[in-house]
């Protein structure tokens, strides 16, 4: 029995000697793949994404419905009987009306109808597409802008650093939601039109742009800090000493070294941006009707919370699952790429 570990160790050592050494990215990927929680979260998130991508297929071929057209006087068959999608109240004074509740039949108003008589399940999938699209695209925009500002401020220092850093401080000094809401209210009526950048009001680009902008300081500041440290490292000093142009040092020597930080931010920012998008849409300053996002569906459901709670609960669950999956995945990515985090948690 005592020989076994020794044998195993010798065997492993021999195998390691035979294989070429793994690069840092491959090592990180191997660690990530070995993280069961992270892989489970990734699987769940991929499932959600695939389901949302399949929204047109579901609406057209399974549910046979148009989730963007009002169907207030419509009817459907439930248990062989024709029922109204919006049923007027017959009790007491006959006030109000109630939409069809969940049928739990995947082909027919699975999660019921909303106040416009539209299929909630189809809208949930379409809404997910918009929520994920906005969260994903605004994350890319945010990370690109943050990387650029962080790299330039940290590397060039001096006046450039002071100006950029103070601008980021001013932006970050605003409460994020207050800033996002203010921008949305201003831009939602007129759109955005400065120089070559033109975004029409009511388009999906608007929430992408707003959300992408407001979180730039959150990412840019740690990037700048990292660049400040890297700037003093020997390989950068050597490059400067050899007369390598600044842009080459920035993009060939420094950027690859901050890339891990940016990658760690990806799932976390997607989760944060998804929540921000939902909040803005819930306040009617994000995705505009009849387009859907999980936030707008929750808003629709808010008015039915006493009678048809599923309209609000379903997108709520979708948001919770997506954000949870992204956060767990984000932790896994950080553990895989950031050795200090590993030391901290294990």
Partner 1 sequence: MTRTTWLMGAVAAAGLMAASLQPAAAQDHRGGIMRLLSQSAGGSLDPKINYTLQYWTMYQYVYDGLVTFKHAAGSEGFTIVPDLAEEMPTPQDGGKTYVFKIRKGIKFADGRELTVKDVVASFQRIFKVSTPTAGSFYNGIVGADACLKTPATCTLDGGVVADEAANTVTIHLVAPDAEFFDKLAVPHGVILPADTPAKDMGSTPIVGTGAYMFAAYDPNKQLKAVRNPYFKEWSKDAQPDGYPDEVHYDFGLTQEAQITAIENGQADWTLDQPPPDRLAEIGSKYKSQVHINTLTAMWYAPMNVNIPPFNNIKARQAVNFAIDRNATVKLFGGKVLAQPACQVLPPGFPGYEPYCPYTKNPGTKWTAPDLAKARELVKESGTAGQKVTIIVQDLTVDRSIGTYLQSVLKAIGYDASVKALSQNIQFTYIQNTNNKVQISVSQWYQDYPAASDFLNVLLGCGTFHPGSDNSPNIAGFCDKDIQAKMDAALALGVTDPAAANKQWAVIDKLTTDQSPVAVLFTPKYIDFLSKRVKNYVFNAQYYWQHTASWIQ
Among residues 28, 38, 188, 208, which is the contact residue for partner 1, using CB under 8 A?
A: 188
Q: For residues 68 and 294, give the distance between their C-alpha atoms in angstroms, rounded to a whole number.
A: 14
CB 280 within 8 Å of CB 183: no
Tokens encoding 291? 């387009």
186 binds partner 1 (CB under 8 A): no
Strand partners, 87: 98
Q: Of 102 and 136, which has the nearer Cβ to partner 1?
A: 102
Q: Of 65 and 116, which has the nearer Cβ to partner 1?
A: 116
Tokens encoding 1? 């029995």
For the chain, helix, strand, coil in percent to 5 are 70, 5, 25
Question: Rg of the Cα trace of the chain?
Answer: 26
Among residues 1, 81, 189, 232, which is the contact residue for partner 1, using CB under 8 A?
A: 189
Strand partners, 192: 199
305 binds partner 1 (CB under 8 A): yes
What residues have CB less than 8 Å from 181, skipping those under 6 apart? 280, 283, 285
69 binds partner 1 (CB under 8 A): yes
Which positions from 113 to 142 touch partner 1 by CB under 8 A, shown as an x/- string?
A: --xx--------------------------
Q: For residues 274 and 321, give the distance between their C-alpha atoms in angstroms, rounded to a whole number.
A: 12
Nearest to 210 by CA among 188, 189, 195, 230: 188
Which positions from 27 to 66 touch partner 1 by CB under 8 A, shown as an x/- string?
A: ----------------------------------------
Among residues 304, 325, 326, 329, which is the contact residue for partner 1, using CB under 8 A?
A: 304
Q: For residues 232 and 248, give the distance between their C-alpha atoms in angstroms, rounded to a whole number.
A: 16
Shortest spacing between CB 329 and partner 1, in angstroms: 34
Among residues 3, 21, 36, 73, which is the contact residue for partner 1, using CB under 8 A?
A: 73
Among residues 284, 321, 324, 338, which is the contact residue for partner 1, using CB under 8 A?
A: 284
Which positions from 82 to 111 touch partner 1 by CB under 8 A, shown as an x/- string?
A: ----x-xx-xxxxxxxx-------------
290 binds partner 1 (CB under 8 A): yes
287 binds partner 1 (CB under 8 A): no
Shortest spacing between CB 339 and partner 1, in angstroms: 49
Stretch that binds partner 1, among 19-27, 205-213, 234-242, 298-306 (CB under 8 A): 298-306
Place of tokens 């941006």: 273
Q: Of 202 and 316, which has the nearer Cβ to partner 1?
A: 202
Among residues 303, 320, 339, 344, which is the contact residue for partner 1, using CB under 8 A?
A: 303
Q: Of 24 and 88, which has the nearer Cβ to partner 1?
A: 88
Q: For residues 145 and 180, give the distance between their C-alpha atoms in angstroms, rounded to a whole number.
A: 17
Q: Of 185 and 240, which has the nearer Cβ to partner 1?
A: 185
- Tell which phi-psi region holds residue 305, choosing left (phi > 0), alpha (psi between -120 and 50) or beta: alpha
Shortest spacing between CB 203 and partner 1, in angstroms: 10
Q: Which of residues 308-337 bind partner 1 (CB under 8 A)?
A: 308
22 binds partner 1 (CB under 8 A): no
Looking at residue 335, the DSSP 8-state letter turns out to be H
Interface with partner 1 (CB under 8 A) = 68-70, 72-73, 86, 88-89, 91-98, 115-116, 185, 188-189, 201-202, 283-284, 288-290, 303-308
């Amino acid at each position: 029995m005592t020989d076994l570990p020794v044998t195993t160790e010798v065997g492993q050592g021999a195998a390691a000697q035979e294989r070429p050494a793994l690069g840092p990215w491959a090592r990180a990927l191997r660690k990530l793949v070995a993280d069961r929680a992270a892989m489970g979260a990734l699987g769940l998130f991929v499932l959600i994404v695939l389901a949302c991508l399949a929204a047109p297929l579901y609406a057209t071929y399974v549910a046979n419905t148009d989730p963007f057209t009002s169907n207030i006087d419509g009817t459907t068959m439930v248990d062989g009987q024709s029922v109204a999608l919006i049923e007027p109240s017959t009790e007491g004074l006959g006030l109000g009306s109630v939409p069809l509740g969940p049928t739990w039949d995947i082909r027919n108003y699975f999660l019921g109808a909303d106040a416009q008589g539209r299929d909630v399940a189809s809208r949930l999938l379409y809404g997910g597409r918009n929520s994920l699209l906005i969260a994903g695209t605004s994350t890319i925009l945010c990370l690109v802008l943050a990387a650029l500002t962080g790299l330039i401020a940290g590397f060039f220092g001096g006046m450039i650093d002071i100006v950029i850093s103070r601008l980021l401080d001013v932006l970050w000094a605003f409460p994020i939601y207050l800033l996002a809401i203010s921008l949305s209210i201003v831009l939602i009526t007129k759109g955005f039109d400065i120089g070559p950048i033109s975004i029409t009001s009511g388009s999906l680009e608007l929430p992408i742009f707003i959300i992408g902008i407001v979180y730039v300081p959150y990412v840019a500041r740690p990037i700048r800090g990292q660049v400040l440290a890297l700037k003093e490292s020997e390989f950068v000093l050597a490059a400067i000493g050899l007369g390598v142009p600044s842009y080459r040092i920035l993009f060939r020597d420094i950027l690859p070294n901050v890339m891990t930080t940016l990658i760690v931010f990806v799932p976390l920012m997607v989760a944060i941006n998804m929540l921000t998008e939902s909040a803005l849409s819930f306040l009617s300053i994000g995705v505009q009707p009849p387009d859907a996002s999980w936030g707008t569906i929750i808003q629709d459901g808010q008015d039915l919370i006493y009678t048809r709670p599923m309209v609000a609960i379903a997108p709520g669950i979708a948001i919770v699952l997506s954000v949870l999956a992204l956060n767990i995945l984000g932790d896994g990515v950080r553990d895989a790429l950031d050795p200090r985090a590993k030391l901290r948690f294990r």
